[in-house]
């Protein structure tokens, strides 16, 4: 049985701002562009979150929700520097570390002899060192695999530590809302709810064939995760080469106009991923992927440097659609990334390029 730790700093950008300007502590704080621009928030501290202020909402809306909100522009170099310091602490506990973004990483501590071999004690020590040495708060999840470790780090956020021991997995997942499964966004969650599935326990009981009718190939992966099973290793060597998001539709889409309607939601998701991993500086191209009803697919790419807009993807979709003009079962958008010169935590990468679970080696469970 493996011992996996997932760490995620609390309101990271805002916490770094507070660290360097302690007078901000205790006050509602948002990091993002000015309220009179079209900017969105990168994050907000927990005081601001009480007002409904959170990442990705427009700054203008944030100040309407919380008139006393202090808005600070992001200082990315500072965040990268702090992220490196956290990474240096993590390095003391494992050499199998997979950074997911500037503020998140997995550690495999299965073979560690530190802290009497207790992953939970290692988690406590990491928390305490990040607090005392860096004046930052980090939440820690400990579990037998990556899926559960990530859920666990979020379970007691902020400043939490939560362990899901192997013997607790069965009971834990039974009550876990399906929304907690990564890759289950609003669309999939709604599909599942329609089938009467609210928790992983419900998902476990649903016959696979029925699930496949609704969700296609993803059904197998979701079913495995609903039992708390996830064999993905902690990957240390990868560098992300692309960031993409995609959606498989319950009913195939027949017209370009309908496909275009799906772009904004995908674009928002994609932009969030790109920002979170600080990938825009490495963007070299954008792409649109269409999978047709007969499972054939086409991908159209275009060179792009900088920050693409919704229109860029809409135009690309139009060109891709023109190739066949036939109904599609899946639409994806993404960006191709250049290799980084020196791998920082943000530019090292995820095991799976896509959010889609279908790329995971879950078949190995069967
Ligand atoms: P998160 O870990 O998602 O958020 P957080 O650390 O601010 O808050 P918490 O973990 O306590 O819930 O993202 C880490 C940083 O990435 C965040 O501080 C700012 C940045 N980010 C964006 O720039 N845009 C976004 O949409 C998101 C979600 C994060
Ligand atoms: Mg965080």
Token couple for 355: 């959010």
Pocket test for ligand 1, best of 7, 12, 273 (most atoms within 8 A of CB): 12
In the chain, % of residues over pLDDT 90? 82
pLDDT in tens, 191-214: 999 999 999 999 999 999 999 998
pLDDT of 343 higher than 70: no
Q: Cis bond leading into 158, ω under 30°? A: yes
The sheet that has 242-253: what strands, in order across it? Answer: 242-253, 328-337, 283-292, 297-303
Q: Is residue 335 a contact partner of residue 243, using CB atoms and an 8 Å limit?
A: yes
Predicted confidence at residue 59, as pLDDT, reads: 93
CA of 61 to the centre of ligand 1 (A): 18
Ligand 1, atom nearest to 13 Cα: 18
From residue 271, alpha-carbon distances to 235, 244, 354 in Å are 24, 10, 14
Phi, psi of 12, deg, nearest 5 = -50, -60
DSSP for 152-189 reads: HHHHT-SS-EEE--GGGHHHHHHT-BGGGSTT--HHHH
Task: Answer with the residue of higher pLDDT: 349 or 258.
Answer: 258
**Parallel, antiparallel, or unpaired for β 242-253 and 104-108?**
unpaired
Tell me how far apart the alpha carbons of residues 200 and 150 are, in angstroms, rounded to a whole number.
16
Token couple for 260: 């275009």
Tell me how far apart the alpha carbons of residues 177 and 188 are, in angstroms, rounded to a whole number.
12
pLDDT in tens, 281-338: 999 999 999 999 988 889 999 999 999 999 999 999 999 999 999 999 999 999 999 9
CB atoms within 10 A of CB 36: 9
Burial of 212 (0-12, 13-18, 19+ CB in 10 A): middle
* pLDDT category of residue 248 using cuts at 50, 70 and 90: confident
Measuring from each residue's beta carbon to the nearest atom of ligand 1, which residues come in under 6 Å? 8-13, 42-43, 55-56, 103-104, 157-158, 272, 275-276
Ligand 1, atom nearest to 46 Cα: 11
Q: Kindly report the average pLDDT of the chain as a whole number.
A: 90
Task: Answer with the residue of higher pLDDT: 239 or 93.
Answer: 93
pLDDT in tens, 135-194: 999 999 999 999 999 999 999 999 999 999 999 999 999 999 999 998 898 889 999 999
Token couple for 349: 């990468």
Query: What predicted TM-score, i.e. pTM, was given to this entire model?
Result: 0.71
Token couple for 96: 């199998």
């Amino acid at each position: 049985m493996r011992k996996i730790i997932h760490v995620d700093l609390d309101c990271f950008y805002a916490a770094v701002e507070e660290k360097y300007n302690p007078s901000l502590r205790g006050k509602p704080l948002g990091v993002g562009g000015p309220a009179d621009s079209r900017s969105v928030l990168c994050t907000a501290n927990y005081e601001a979150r009480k007002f409904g202020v959170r990442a990705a909402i427009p700054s203008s809306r944030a100040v309407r929700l919380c008139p006393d909100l202090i808005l600070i522009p992001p200082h990315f170099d500072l965040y990268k520097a702090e992220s490196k310091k956290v990474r240096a602490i993590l390095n003391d506990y494992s050499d199998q570390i997979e950074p997911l973004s500037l503020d998140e990483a997995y550690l495999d501590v299965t073979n560690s002899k530190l802290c009497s071999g207790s992953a939970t004690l290692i988690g406590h020590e990491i928390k305490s060192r990040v607090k005392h040495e860096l004046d930052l708060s980090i939440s820690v999840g400990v579990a037998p695999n990556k899926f559960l470790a990530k859920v666990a780090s979020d379970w007691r956020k902020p400043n939490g530590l939560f362990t899901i021991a192997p013997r607790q997995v069965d009971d834990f997942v039974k009550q876990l809302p399906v929304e907690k499964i990564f890759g289950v966004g609003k669309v999939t969650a709604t599909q599942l709810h329609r089938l009467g599935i609210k928790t992983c326990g419900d998902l476990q009981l649903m016959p696979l064939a029925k699930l496949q009718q609704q969700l296609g190939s993803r059904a197998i992966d979701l079913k495995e995760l609903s039992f708390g099973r996830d064999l993905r290793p902690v990957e240390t060597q990868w560098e992300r080469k692309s960031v993409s998001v995609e959606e498989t539709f319950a009913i195939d889409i027949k017209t370009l106009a309908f496909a275009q309607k799906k772009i904004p939601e995908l674009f928002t998701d994609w932009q969030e991923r790109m920002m979170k991993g600080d990938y825009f500086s490495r963007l070299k191209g954008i792409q649109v992927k269409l999978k047709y009803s007969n499972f054939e697919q086409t991908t159209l790419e275009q060179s792009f440097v900088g920050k693409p807009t919704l229109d860029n993807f809409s135009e690309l979709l139009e060109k891709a659609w023109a190739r066949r003009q036939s109904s599609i079962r899946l639409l994806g958008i993404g960006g191709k990334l250049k290799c980084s010169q020196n791998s920082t935590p943000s530019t090292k990468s995820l095991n799976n390029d896509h959010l889609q679970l279908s790329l995971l080696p879950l078949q190995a469970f069967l």
